């Protein structure tokens, strides 16, 4: 089969696939509703992948691929959607991981997420973090929150992404979408200058390093609503990851800054839904109250799990409680739930 970008987009739409993985020496595979399916038995070679993807690269992207071994980019077709691509080298050949981004931003109501998360998009300022592993729906959740703000408030919204994924249309809000590496040198550089652009809401596609985290905290502190993502599995790990990025001498200051600006942490993972065949999220939600802010400030993050458990009346829940609910509803099996539980033994007790 001759692989082309147009053909891959058609395939992903037809099969309702979220991902296509092409690796030299193996047949292509797709993910549909969180489950991997092999497309035939014909093995790809490196030339198949190179012919498909190399023509998409600019000179700078080719240089990056040659120097670093991987490059991120995105392509799209009007009215269909976009494809986020990571082209990389493996064992001296090419490999490609592609993610389909629909043309229309999914409405929050279709994502099976707790409504408490959407309430965070109504906040006037502060930092909201959406975290999880790869392919857990972080980008989709954030995009649905931006879409809600866009249709609800007359705001100036700026997104910083690498690469750009969902595309937004101006509604009540004005939206600028900046691609890192193309429209700005880095997340940190864009955030340092963003205060001069008078945004109400800033989306940071990923907080990767000290400079980006520091600039995002400052933006939240001076009155912007900052939505951002990290690759962390639960709220405690999220707080520790942010603080541990900084040298020891700065950590006390960062704990104070984070305790003052943080408005919510949403940690999610996805399961195959055995009821309707789609995907269903399990979500941990932490909404900082005075006790949580004090624990962050005083370096007592080990207490946060218990505080989340006792905060049910404000919409908080642990990831294990969310998984236990899905098991009880018959949406996922206990075995699947245990595979992604933070504390499998505790989850087993919760579901009896």
Q: Where are the alpha helices (DSSP H) in the chain?
A: 5-15, 46-53, 59-68, 115-119, 138-152, 187-194, 210-221, 235-244, 248-261, 290-297, 304-309, 319-328, 334-340, 344-350
The pLDDT value given to residue 182: 86
CATH class of 108-350: alpha beta
DSSP, collapsed to helix, strand or coil, labels residue 308 as: helix
Where does residue 242 rank: exposed (0-12), middle (13-18), buried (19+ CB within 10 A)?
buried
- pLDDT tens readout for residues 244-260: 999 999 999 999 999 99
CA separation, residue 345 to residues 325, 326, 342, 348 (Å):
16, 17, 9, 5
- Specify the CATH number for 5-102; select among 3.30.450.90, 3.40.50.720, 3.40.50.2300, 3.40.50.1000: 3.30.450.90
Indicate the angle between helix axes 248-261 and 290-297, nearest 10 degrees. 170
The residues near 14 (Cβ < 8 Å, ≥ 6 apart) are: none
- Cβ–Cβ under 8 Å, residues 276 and 110: no
Quote the percentage of the chain above a pLDDT of 70: 99
Structure tokens that stand for 288 in this block: 């900082």
pLDDT in tens, 285-337: 999 999 999 999 999 999 999 999 999 999 999 999 999 999 999 999 999 99
DSSP, collapsed to helix, strand or coil, labels residue 155 as: coil
Torsion angle, alpha carbons of 262, 107, 173, 183, to 10: 80
Distance in angstroms (rounded) separating the CA atoms of residues 225 and 253: 21
> Can 5-102 and 108-350 be said to share one CATH topology?
no
pLDDT at 1: 57
Please name which of 295, 245, 285 lies closest in space to residue 264, comparing C-alpha atoms.
285
pTM: 0.89
- Residue pLDDT, tens place only, 74-124: 888 888 888 999 999 998 899 999 999 988 999 999 999 999 999 999 999
SS3 189: helix
CA 67 to chain CA centroid, nearest Å: 27
Cis peptide before 163 (omega within 30 of 0): yes
Residue spans per domain, the chain: 5-102, 108-350
β-bridge partners, 32: 35
Residue 2 clears pLDDT 80, i.e. is over it: no
Provide the percentage of residues in the chain whose pLDDT is more than 90.
78
When pLDDT is averaged across residues 30-56 and rounded to a whole number, the result is 90
d(CA 216, CA 221): 9
Q: Position of tokens 């857990």?
A: 136
Q: Under a CB-based contact definition with an 8 Å cutoff, are residues 139 and 165 in contact?
A: yes
Separation between Cα atoms, residue 298 and residue 286, nearest integer Å: 17
Tell me the pairing of strands 201-204 and 225-230.
Answer: parallel
3-state DSSP call for residue 35?
A: strand
């Amino acid at each position: 089969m001759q692989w082309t970008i147009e053909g891959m987009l058609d395939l992903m739409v037809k099969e309702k696939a979220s991902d296509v993985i092409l690796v030299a020496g193996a047949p292509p595979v797709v993910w549909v509703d969180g489950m991997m399916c092999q497309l035939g038995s014909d093995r790809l070679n490196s030339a198949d992948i190179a012919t498909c993807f190399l023509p998409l690269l600019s000179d700078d992207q080719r240089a990056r691929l040659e120097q670093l071994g991987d490059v991120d980019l995105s392509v799209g077709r009007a009215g269909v959607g976009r494809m986020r691509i990571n082209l990389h080298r493996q064992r001296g050949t090419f490999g490609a991981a592609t993610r389909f981004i629909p043309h229309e931003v999914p409405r929050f109501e279709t994502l099976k997420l707790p409504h408490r998360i959407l309430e965070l998009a109504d906040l006037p300022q502060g930092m909201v973090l959406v975290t999880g592993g790869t392919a857990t729906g972080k980008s989709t959740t954030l995009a649905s929150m931006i879409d809600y703000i866009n249709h609800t408030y007359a705001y100036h919204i700026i997104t910083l992404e690498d690469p750009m994924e969902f595309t937004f249309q101006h509604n009540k809000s004005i939206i600028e979408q900046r691609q890192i590496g193309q429209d700005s040198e880095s997340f940190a550089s864009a955030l340092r200058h963003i205060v001069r652009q008078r945004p109400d809401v800033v989306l940071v596609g990923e907080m990767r390093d000290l400079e980006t985290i520091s600039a995002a905290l400052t933006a939240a502190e001076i009155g912007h609503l900052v939505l951002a993502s990290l690759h962390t599995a639960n709220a405690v790990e999220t707080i520790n990851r942010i603080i541990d990025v900084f040298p020891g001498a700065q950590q006390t200051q960062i704990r104070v800054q984070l305790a003052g600006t943080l408005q919510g942490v949403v940690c999610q993972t996805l399961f195959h839904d055995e009821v309707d065949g789609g995907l269903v999220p399990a979500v941990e939600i932490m909404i900082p109250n005075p006790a949580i802010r004090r624990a962050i400030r005083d370096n007592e993050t080990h207490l946060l799990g218990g505080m989340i458990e006792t905060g049910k009346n404000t919409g908080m829940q642990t990831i294990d409680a969310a998984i236990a609910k899905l098991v009880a509803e018959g949406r996922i099996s206990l075995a699947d739930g245990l595979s992604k539980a933070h504390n499998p033994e505790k989850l087993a007790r919760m579901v009896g």
